[in-house]
Structure 1
Amino acid sequence: MDPVILFFLFGLVAGLLRSELKLPSALYDSLSIFLLLAIGLKGGQGLATQPLLPLLPQIGAVIVLGVLQTLIAFSALRLLFGFDRPNAASTAAHYGSVSVATFAVAAAWLAARDIAMEPQMAVLLAVMEIPAILVGIVLARGIHRDTDWKSLGHEAFLGKGVTLLLGGMAIGWAAGPEGLAPISGLYFDLFKAVLALFLLEMGLIVSRQVGELRRRGLSLIVFGLAMPLLSATLGLGTGWLLGLSVGGLTMLATLAASASYIAVPAAMRIAVPEANPAVSLAGSLGVTFPFNILLGIPLYHWMATRLSGA
């Protein structure tokens, strides 16, 4: 197995056994910043070698994809699983958005197998963070005069994750491959080692969601497994219409199947304080994230190869 996956399993088992293992919170934040910047730099470096105008249809397509996923998730949670409106809207926003960590694992998985993907996938990652947040807020609260759109817009468009991704892409695009060469040893060569350490902490975090999964029962587990499969299918269809390569199809399916646990929880705390964040995180972190990195990514690649006829 890939060592980064083994690091995740190590953290998960250690957490379930109630080990005293714990990474300092400052180190976890530093690893997050490093991964976001590295992904942005890599995407910006690729963008420097191609025109930007052809990306506009792809950006529009993934915005529609994120909105559609959020609406489907909300309807399923309300009608099939009996969630109240605030928790259904908050959880749906998590599943309509994307996970940077899942993107990083998929990028490492593809790179280890010499499977190329389009460089603009980092751009699509940043774009897909935002629509689900806005749709989730409208589903939970409607549109009222007292809605603090300024604070919500700031959180959605200028949150840490989006800012680091866009900033890294801007630097990578402006510097280009030659300009980034002196720092490539840190941001590119050490990427997988840093990702392994990050996934060790993610395993510990996932182990803490077991209690909420027990309280919510089978419904959250079923949704946490079924929704990524449906979303991956929608992502594959979108990627096929956009003419993406097998690597691009795999990555877009992975992004669609992933669920946010950084940007969306922060925005939902402001917009929908009555929603229980433990419910959304138990699904996105306790079920969907492990499923995607252990089984989902190879499955989505297999589906992409069948769709493309490769």
Structure 2
Amino acid sequence: MDFLSEFLTKFGAQLQSPTLGFLIGGIIIAAFGSRLQIPDAIYKFIVFMLLMKVGLKGGVAIRNADLAQMLLPALFAAVVGILIVFIGRYTLANLPGVKTTDAIATAGLFGAVSGSTLAAGITVLEAQGITYEPWAGALYPFMDIPALVTAIVVASIYTSKQKQRRAAEENLSKQEALSKQPVAAGGYPSEPEYPTTRQEYRNQQRGAASNRVEIWPIVKESLQGSALSALLLGLALGLLTRPESVVDSFYEPLFRGLLSILMLVMGMEAWSRINELRKVAQWYAIYAFVAPLLHGFIAFGLGMIAHYATGFSPGGVALLAVIAASSSDISGPPTLRAGIPSANPSAYIGASTAVGTPVAIALGIPLYIGLAQTLISS
């Protein structure tokens, strides 16, 4: 009962957080038919500001880190971020009624990292006097960015193939309609220029489509997108310049206020598409409960490898698992909204904020810290 009481207390605390509060507020006013609108230009500016701040802070943290010791954990963080996307692509996307683009976006959000969950994990480690590398918090962009890029690329490849398949079906239907037209007296039908059966035509079109889909142009287009461009620009500036004064005097004071407006917009948009989610909400709830724990265990196992190979600390192993269990509440939603516009925000934001984040904080943090303390001797 004590464990359940603690879980419910932390779950209630999450519902009272400003980030989630503004999201719920947006849903409520939209549900009551409010005509409140945030101009798209303001929304884009807010997204730019938030992602620049996240990138700048991440770049500064990486620049100040010991790169030699950081190499293996950073590699594992990137691997986990990419792997999470493919896990969701071939599990959640195959459940009844779940749209593939929604599943990919949800997996991308769970592969990205929550800054609030990371901060909570660090706070618990420090409160319990558990040592961890000063640069461990800087692992989040190594997981966050690959996960978001992978999700956008995978979704782009899927939608491109779907468009090509629909175009092929339309062409075939037109040819079948022409072939059924009566031939004038004395005339002779010309030799068919297309395969004689629908299956042959589909097979031919699938082969042609698979040859035409090139990954690099999609990756390039994804990286040139407004959201990822801002994130990567901030990361580069944090690495190569000294932006601390600008971050502290300009970006940091505005951050929480801008984030609250962004969550309000997300809430209103989520409500506008809530009917699409109601049909399959149970699958997202199951995924959002299981995924954080599964992802954390995968990262914990890789962190143990880094521990035995490089001396990665118990706190560092636990923190790697915590960021893997988290789902992004800052960079992820606007990046996915811009990169996968066909995905339903109700799916990936709802799964993350309603279930995923409370599970990661209330269950994941104490679980992985306890495992690290038990399995790794001081």
Secondary structure of 1:93's aligned partner: helix
Q: Pick which of 98-107 and 232-241 moved more.
A: 98-107
User: Contact 1:236 / 1:253 at 8 angstroms: preserved in 2?
Assistant: no
Match of 1:188 in 2: 252
User: CA 1:261 to 1:282, structure 2 compared with 1: closer, same or farther past 3 Å?
Assistant: same
Q: Distance in 2 between matches of 1:201 and 1:268?
A: 17
Identical columns (%): 19
Match of 2:291 in 1: 227
User: Contact 2:81 / 2:111 at 8 angstroms: preserved in 1?
Assistant: no
User: Contact 1:225 / 1:288 at 8 angstroms: preserved in 2?
Assistant: no
Secondary structure of 1:119's aligned partner: helix
Select 1:82's aligned residue among 86, 93, 96: 96
Q: Which has the larger radius of gyration?
A: 2
Match of 1:6 in 2: 21
Pairwise CA distance, 1:254: 0.8
Matched, 1:251 2:323: yes
Match of 1:167, as an amino acid?
Answer: L
User: Contact 2:109 / 2:327 at 8 angstroms: preserved in 1?
Assistant: yes
Matched, 1:126 2:132: no
Q: 1:135-146 maps to which residues of 2 (within 5 A)?
A: 135=154, 141=161, 144-146=210-212
Match of 2:58 in 1: 43
Match of 1:26, as an amino acid?
Answer: A
User: Contact 1:228 / 1:258 at 8 angstroms: preserved in 2?
Assistant: no
Q: 1:128-187 deviations in whole A, cap 9, x for unaligned?
A: 2223444556677498221143541223333223222221122122223xx522441221
Match of 1:165 in 2: 231
User: CA 1:171 to 1:209, structure 2 compared with 1: closer, same or farther past 3 Å?
Assistant: same
Pairwise CA distance, 1:49: 1.5
Match of 2:280, as an amino acid?
Answer: R
Q: 1:65-76 maps to which residues of 2 (within 5 A)?
A: 65-76=80-91
Q: Distance in 2 between matches of 1:224 and 1:34?
A: 28
Q: Distance in 2 between matches of 1:306 and 1:145?
A: 50
Match of 2:279, as an amino acid?
Answer: R
Q: Pick which of 260-269 and 68-77 moved more.
A: 260-269
Structure 2: give runs of 5+ residues left out of the alignment.
1-15, 127-133, 162-205, 307-311
Question: How well do the aligned residues superpose, as a CA RMSD in angstroms?
Answer: 3.7
Q: Pick which of 109-118 and 10-19 moved more.
A: 109-118
Pairwise CA distance, 1:39: 0.8
User: Contact 1:108 / 1:192 at 8 angstroms: preserved in 2?
Assistant: no
Pairwise CA distance, 1:127: 2.5
Match of 2:21, as an amino acid?
Answer: L
User: CA 1:53 to 1:208, structure 2 compared with 1: closer, same or farther past 3 Å?
Assistant: farther
Matched, 1:154 2:173: no
User: Contact 1:96 / 1:256 at 8 angstroms: preserved in 2?
Assistant: no
User: CA 1:192 to 1:206, structure 2 compared with 1: closer, same or farther past 3 Å?
Assistant: same
User: Contact 2:26 / 2:265 at 8 angstroms: preserved in 1?
Assistant: yes
User: Contact 2:97 / 2:279 at 8 angstroms: preserved in 1?
Assistant: no
Match of 1:273 in 2: none
User: CA 1:162 to 1:258, structure 2 compared with 1: closer, same or farther past 3 Å?
Assistant: closer
Q: Distance in 2 between matches of 1:101 and 1:67?
A: 9
User: Contact 2:78 / 2:146 at 8 angstroms: preserved in 1?
Assistant: yes
User: Contact 2:60 / 2:238 at 8 angstroms: preserved in 1?
Assistant: yes
Pairwise CA distance, 1:205: 2.5
User: Contact 2:77 / 2:320 at 8 angstroms: preserved in 1?
Assistant: no
Secondary structure of 2:67's aligned partner: coil
User: CA 1:114 to 1:162, structure 2 compared with 1: closer, same or farther past 3 Å?
Assistant: farther
Match of 1:292, as an amino acid?
Answer: G
Q: Distance in 2 between matches of 1:198 and 1:217?
A: 24
User: CA 1:308 to 1:263, structure 2 compared with 1: closer, same or farther past 3 Å?
Assistant: same
Pairwise CA distance, 1:37: 0.7
User: Contact 1:93 / 1:136 at 8 angstroms: preserved in 2?
Assistant: yes
Pairwise CA distance, 1:305: 2.1
Match of 1:305 in 2: 369
User: CA 1:307 to 1:72, structure 2 compared with 1: closer, same or farther past 3 Å?
Assistant: same
User: Contact 2:113 / 2:328 at 8 angstroms: preserved in 1?
Assistant: no
Work out the number of aligned pairs and report it: 296
Match of 1:26 in 2: 41
Q: Distance in 2 between matches of 1:196 and 1:111?
A: 23
User: Contact 1:15 / 1:208 at 8 angstroms: preserved in 2?
Assistant: yes
Secondary structure of 2:35's aligned partner: coil
Q: 1:285-300 maps to which residues of 2 (within 5 A)?
A: 285-300=349-364
Q: Distance in 2 between matches of 1:228 and 1:258?
A: 17
Q: Pick which of 18-27 and 55-64 moved more.
A: 55-64
Q: Distance in 1 between matches of 2:260 and 2:331?
A: 20
Q: Distance in 1 between matches of 2:109 and 2:72?
A: 19
